A and B are shown apart, each in its own frame.
With several copies, the nearest count.
Chain A
């Protein structure tokens, strides 16, 4: 079904919705000079047609309706009970500036969930202001800035150290906060050596920002020493818990010595991802760093719960308390899972990954990153199709495209930098059944066979999707890219009836 753009639909005079008329006609109208005179070329479409249009677009989005073992992202089941709770007026229709007395239930949830995350991490306090994992990393960069500033060392402490396998948001937010980024390369053991770290640590060190385990499923067993080394030099240590799913309930960031960590509620804690938000990067830190947190903090007093500014903290990284509906969903998820469920989820997630590994490595042409390492990987493993691509000319992206023809959503390749050729990173987590995992693997094996028998079939995929493979040539060409219909029409100089 080829669904035209909404801008191409409708006709003059059609109405999709009608706002209430004014209480009375404005007596004291705004001056002419500030009023719009250019007509708005928005679509004029009736309500049923707008609805049907977006219903159709929804059906043209595979997402989690097929099977999606998207790695590095901990895609999991989003219980619908959370949606029903979040849709209640007592959450959806709460204004952020309401008096604390009128939102006691909400503040209690925020506080209780803070306590839950403290229990999981050993940290002293969490905030939910950051609208995603990257924003939480930026919180850390800002907290680091404020911490060193408070000690008069900010001018000196310019370096943030990270690793090639840390999520790109770590170096990026550090750089945006004005730091110099030092990225340690991955070495033979699957992580940088302690010596490499020691070589760059010093009195210029502001912070270490790191994931562990990383996206290859490798856990750095020297992480405590790393933290010690950085601490000794006066730097802070931030644990990006993007890969928490495999170690939930087994380790606590604070016990490993970290000063701060980040959880993604929209991934690890069962809240939906929304195709990329609204999300929450829950940022937690030790009591020592709490003075630097951006306010407002939610605190419990004898009289109830209140929001309190944090004098001396980072001002804000975002307006208001955060995406509280996602916090409520994560809270409900955590209640439902409990300590036993969380531990079980980690077990199953790691077990499923090892099961997949056994099956995937049996497929000719699939190899594993750092395949000389024999230790079991945690909740994901990075694989490579490098040999297969050399043999067939069919790339990981081609395979990805073709797999969608079988109802399997795209897998994740790898974050930058690519350490292995033609990488791919499936992750089953605890939410996909063994049958679905088996189907996924069967499809991969089948598509790889197709690629051997008929490379062009796979290279030209998909064949069963709404649209065929995109021609990416125009995307980075200023003369042809078009992020709006206005731009497209101008660049294509053609008359299109709006």
Chain B
């Protein structure tokens, strides 16, 4: 029986093509492959399930064994955050035209290229920068590429990063920085345990003439806003190093853009801009800089630029600086590029366009206020405290040390109540003891926080 996915899997179609191609047996076409190369045993995958209903039922039943953040109350963040995705974002993400294409000409892909340009333009507006590449795989990947850009620009092989960095993101950065003789050394600067911010004195001590870049984040991985970002950039600049700021784009209606505190390169995650959690499959990383040749020449990414067409006054969008990518120059190009997260790029553009200046200002206020509210209320639970109870955005560290319970115990008990407690920090940040990183966004209501606080009361008292 013909397979629905394969129009030519009918005897008629195959016979017609074989006739024209002059073969009588399909196996003749594989003459190139020596017999000794053929699979020793047939592929044991079973026959295909032709009925879509059966495939769907089977996969759905597996998926239905998952507990989602919709029917549970979620306080996990730490690199992937639950924000509200406007329905229009889903509508555009599901458009076949954007979902399935590969690559056309600037004319045949005009609409998608325009959407990409609108992504870059709006993201550039958020971070206050004029040159924006198409995104890479993740925040960690973006930071990794940015550090490599800085290393190429400065000819130096050291990067200073904060101790508060997400260990997962740091692991990606380390992989990008490499191993062995040519590796970029990763130097960790301490944070001030009283404030959760970078210890500027330690930073100053660690930045020197070998430093290619200082990489820092605000808010940092533990939620704390680096109030003295200008000083960080000043220290880097003072030693001829590049300043790379990692930022959360959803904060930038409320917080200063990195361009204003001296960042040379801004990176971050695009996931907060209208992309579902997707079990971590919604992440993407942006890279933005000033529009200076010095930076532009180091981008490993593709990027679209406005350009003229043969018709006066008409605009098209084409790839700029293609030759410096791996597609253009193989190993001579900057790092490498390939398929990335370009469908999300279109959705990011939609999200930013929907939000506009007021939306970003409001969502920043709401997230700051909601997370502050939640922190204050969580802090009322006996034995539970908030490590840095002010100056944070969206995420904050909850300290369970005084409860005598481990985060593992707390989170298990919460999960039994339909609550996903904050990310356990006890392994990654042993100096914090039994602490967890809670994420509160615009999706949380007063009732949600009450539910959390009640549950914590029970759990701690139990």
Contacts and interface: CB of A to CB of B under 8 A. Distances in A.
A and B touch in the complex (CB under 8 A): yes
Sorted from nearest, which 6 A-B pairs have the closest CB atoms? Answer: A63-B101, A320-B280, A134-B338, A338-B48, A60-B111, A96-B280
Interface string B244-266: 00000000111111001000000
Interface stretch (B30-38, B209-217, B454-462): B30-38
A85 B59 contact: yes
A73 B102 CA distance: 8
Given A250-B33, A433-B13, A404 B339 contact: no
Nearest to A488: B306
A351 B22 CA distance: 10
Contacts of A66: 108
A224 interface: yes
Contacts of B124: 483-487
Contacts of B71: 89
B172 A317 contact: yes
Interface in A112-168: 116, 119-120, 131-135, 137-138, 142, 145-146, 149, 154-155, 168
Interface stretch (B232-240, B316-324, B398-406): B316-324
Given A35-B255, A109-B59, 13 more contacts: A17-B354, A30-B225, A30-B368, A48-B7, A57-B111, A81-B56, A95-B82, A101-B415, A250-B39, A321-B281, A337-B5, A352-B17, A404-B107
Contacts of A210: none
Nearest to B64: A90
Given A22-B370, A172-B335, A476-B321, A42 B122 contact: yes
B307 A351 contact: no
Contacts of B137: 131-132, 135, 277, 318
B32 A348 contact: no
A23 interface: yes
A80 B76 CA distance: 28
A28 B71 CA distance: 31
B66 A318 contact: no
B107 A469 contact: yes
9 contacts: A17-B86, A36-B255, A57-B112, A104-B65, A224-B37, A274-B342, A324-B278, A324-B280, A467-B315
B49 interface: yes
Contacts of B337: 134
Contacts of A471: 307-310, 316
A351 B23 CA distance: 9
Given A58-B95, A324-B279, A354-B29, A277 B340 contact: yes
A169 B78 contact: no
Interface in B37-59: 37-40, 42-56, 58-59
A476 B281 contact: no
Q: Which of B105, B180, B319, B363 has the most CB atoms of chain A within a 10 A radius of its CB?
A: B105
B107 A15 contact: no
Interface in A45-101: 45-51, 53-66, 68, 70, 73, 75-99, 101
Interface residues of A, number: 232
A319 B43 CA distance: 32
Given A5-B121, A277-B343, A23 B277 contact: no
A16 B356 contact: yes
Given A70-B103, A335-B48, A277 B341 contact: yes
A312 interface: no
A43 B360 CA distance: 11
A15 B415 CA distance: 38
Contacts of B5: 46-48, 76-77, 79, 270, 333, 336-337, 341, 430-431
A443 to B, nearest CB: 13
Given A23-B446, A276-B342, A105 B48 contact: no
A476 B319 CA distance: 9
Contact of B310 (A90, A339, A460): A460
B205 interface: no
B174 interface: yes
Contacts of B366: 19-22
Contacts of A20: 51, 53-54, 84, 366, 442-443, 445
B68 A16 contact: no
A61 B49 contact: no
